[in-house]
Amino acid sequence: MLNVPSPAFPAPGSQQRAASGGRSKVPLKQGRSLMDWIRLTKSGKDLTGLKGRLIEVTEEELIKHNKKDDCWVCIRGLVYNVSPYMEYHPGGEDELMRAAGSDGTDLFDQVHRWVNYESMLKECLVGRMAVKPVVLAKENHEKKPLNGILLKSKVPDLPVKEISPSYDWFQTESLVTIVIYTKQKDMDSESVIVDYQDGCFRAEIVVNDYSYLLHTELSHEIQEDITARVTEKTGKVEIILKKKNNVSWKYLGHPLESHNSFTAHREKGLYYRKCKLISKVDVTHDTKLYCLMMPPGTHLQVPIGQHVYLKQTIAGAEIVKPYTPVLESLHSDLREPLHPHNKYIYVIIKIYHTGLFTPHFDCLQIGDYVSLSNPEGNFKKSQLQDLEELFLLAAGTGFTPMVKILNYALANITNLRKVKLMFFNKTEEDILWRNQLEQLADKERRFEVEFILSEPTCEWIGKQGRISLPLLSKFVKRSLENSRVLICICGPAPFTEQGIRLLKDLNFSQEEVHSFTA
């Protein structure tokens, strides 16, 4: 879900950038894995070249360190010597060198904001940037970024006043209701994320590209059964808390960090809560479906097409990986789900036995905990409204974003005439949920699925090969000349990059293509 833009198709800021940018990995030398890097950071070796000293770094000094064997990079005001990390970086040395001797905060946020760089690079910390005094012009109240730090001014850098939310609260004998006035239409329960733990209440309301945060230590205890209601027409959000003791509250609570703030997503860090593993089921020979239960005081629904991050501490380092939640099954709409969507998360994970994160994750026992972040991503359900044809291109676990999109489109888009999935895999044994997909195609006349194998056995009678112009030109044909279409594509970076180029050659516009990365 990572990107570095170029001036061509797709447009800057679009999610298509995710595949066409810096996510591509390069082969690492033997002994240069993530685990090898963790071992090096724990070896006691001086990775900064400063023998344990921390220094204040001026811009003039930072610029001098711009070579592979002497490379300093600033991220959010902290300066790191990344030269020792060059050979361990999955994106390659050239990608790191793009930020050599400079402030790499924006580049880092584009490519992997979710990575815990403080943990990964803590032994490479050189020091902090020396921030020069900045005098703001009286007529200009905007905050000025310097060295990755957002300088504070008296006037908050918020969206226009008309859309800034506000809140109030009232109580009955047994309930406390917190009301947030977002002043936005078309809000839904997916826009509301609530966490309550150890007396601390945290509610994040997603409003377009911003988040409104309430964060307070409540004045009294509450039960962990929290209800969130949204009035879509007015954007009013009600969060209903059940008092533990039926006493009158004189005030809501003590404000905590960033309480009553309204900030852009790009300026916010990721928030995690610990979720319990309650089941894991084999999907293929190397892929499993895991079900995670959120804490009792959490209300969270992952929007369609968005992903979460799972975080584990491995060998003393925090390792984070993105995954797109799926449904319990493709038949979930036919009956009441076994687990409600605002309390449980399902993820399909491929286990790489030579990797670091997934083998450790697969060793978790039922009842163990893993940290799960708030949702991220810019896919909007509105992209599916009024569609007439939906084409899904997936490779391997790139199928996971398609699950909810497919389910939602068939159940809710009344104008939809056709949904087609072209699913690329190496072998038949690698196809995720093959039986469910075939059953859905038999039941639902609007849905078609094609399986493409790159390494089929001689018994395979279906199509074979890799993503190509001949395959796509037949698959993504409009049934009518002016059909409203959307093409979603997800898979390994080379697959997605090639797919985007081919779709451009087939004259599909950037608005008609949305890409994810697997």
Instruction: Report, as an integer, the average pLDDT of 212-223.
Output: 96
Q: How far apart are CA 390 and CA 369, in angstroms?
A: 37
150, pLDDT greater than 50: no
pLDDT in tens, 225-238: 999 999 988 889 99
> What is the structure's pLDDT at 134?
43
25, pLDDT greater than 50: yes
The verdict on residue 309 lying in a domain is: yes
Q: How far apart are CA 55 and CA 79, in angstroms?
A: 9
Domain identity same for 228 and 198: yes
Domain identity same for 365 and 387: no
217, pLDDT greater than 60: yes
> What is the structure's pLDDT at 416?
95
> What is the structure's pLDDT at 460?
95
Q: How far apart are CA 322 and CA 116, in angstroms?
A: 13
pLDDT band at 20 (very low <50, low <70, confident <90, very high): very low
Residue, of 51 and 215, whose pLDDT is higher? 215
The verdict on residue 403 lying in a domain is: yes
Nearest alpha carbon to residue 413 among 441, 390, 440, 386: 386
Q: Mean pLDDT lowest for which of 107-111, 189-193, 402-406, 492-496?
A: 107-111
Q: How far apart are CA 444 and CA 220, in angstroms?
A: 52
146, pLDDT greater than 70: no
> What is the structure's pLDDT at 31?
84
> What is the structure's pLDDT at 119?
79
CATH code, domain with 411? 3.40.50.80
Domain identity same for 187 and 309: no
Q: How many helices (H) and strands (E) does the chain have?
A: 11, 30
Q: How far apart are CA 513 and CA 386, in angstroms?
A: 15
112, pLDDT greater than 80: no
Q: Mean pLDDT, the chain, as a whole number? A: 85
Q: Which domain holds residue 396?
A: 381-515
The verdict on residue 422 lying in a domain is: yes
Domain identity same for 397 and 511: yes
Domain identity same for 337 and 408: no
Domain identity same for 433 and 490: yes
Residue, of 33 and 114, whose pLDDT is higher? 33
> What is the structure's pLDDT at 93?
87
131, pLDDT greater than 70: no
Domain identity same for 395 and 491: yes
- Domain boundary residue among 319, 341, 376? 376
- Domain boundary residue among 319, 343, 376? 376
419, pLDDT greater than 80: yes
> What is the structure's pLDDT at 475?
94
Domain identity same for 209 and 254: yes
Residue, of 458 and 164, whose pLDDT is higher? 458
Q: How far apart are CA 9 and CA 13, in angstroms?
A: 11
Q: Specify the number of domains making up the chain.
A: 4
Domain identity same for 401 and 510: yes
Q: Mean pLDDT lowest for which of 2-16, 107-121, 496-510?
A: 2-16
Q: What percent of the chain is predicted at pLDDT more than 90?
A: 61
Domain identity same for 173 and 257: yes
pLDDT band at 476 (very low <50, low <70, confident <90, very high): very high
Q: What percent of the chain is predicted at pLDDT more than 70?
A: 86
Name the strand (E) or helix (H) holding 167.
strand 166-171
> What is the structure's pLDDT at 107?
83
The verdict on residue 154 lying in a domain is: no
pLDDT band at 518 (very low <50, low <70, confident <90, very high): low
- Domain boundary residue among 129, 151, 180? 129
The verdict on residue 24 lying in a domain is: no
Domain identity same for 211 and 284: no
Count other Cβ atoms within 10 Å, centred on residue 46: 11
186, pLDDT greater than 90: no
pLDDT in tens, 246-279: 999 999 999 999 999 998 877 777 899 999 999 9
Residue with tokens 């020979």: 285
Instruction: Report, as an integer, the average pLDDT of 469-497.
Output: 93
Q: How far is CA 437 from CA 403, 432, 462, in A?
A: 10, 9, 15
Q: How far apart are CA 404 and CA 432, in angstroms?
A: 14
The verdict on residue 9 lying in a domain is: no
2, pLDDT greater than 50: no
390, pLDDT greater than 60: yes
Biggest alpha carbon–alpha carbon distance for the chain: 76
> What is the structure's pLDDT at 332?
58
The verdict on residue 317 lying in a domain is: yes
> What is the structure's pLDDT at 139?
39
> What is the structure's pLDDT at 270?
84
> What is the structure's pLDDT at 388?
96
pLDDT in tens, 329-378: 987 554 444 556 668 999 999 999 888 899 999 999 999 999 999 999 88
pLDDT band at 18 (very low <50, low <70, confident <90, very high): very low
CATH code, domain with 297? 2.40.30.10
CATH code, domain with 216? 2.60.40.790
Maximum average pLDDT range among 143-147, 242-246, 265-269, 312-316: 242-246
Q: How far apart are CA 149 and CA 167, in angstroms?
A: 29
Domain identity same for 395 and 511: yes
The verdict on residue 150 lying in a domain is: no
10, pLDDT greater than 60: no
CATH code, domain with 58? 3.10.120.10
Q: How far apart are CA 374 and CA 272, in angstroms?
A: 7
Instruction: Report, as an integer, the average pLDDT of 465-492.
Output: 94
pLDDT band at 132 (very low <50, low <70, confident <90, very high): low
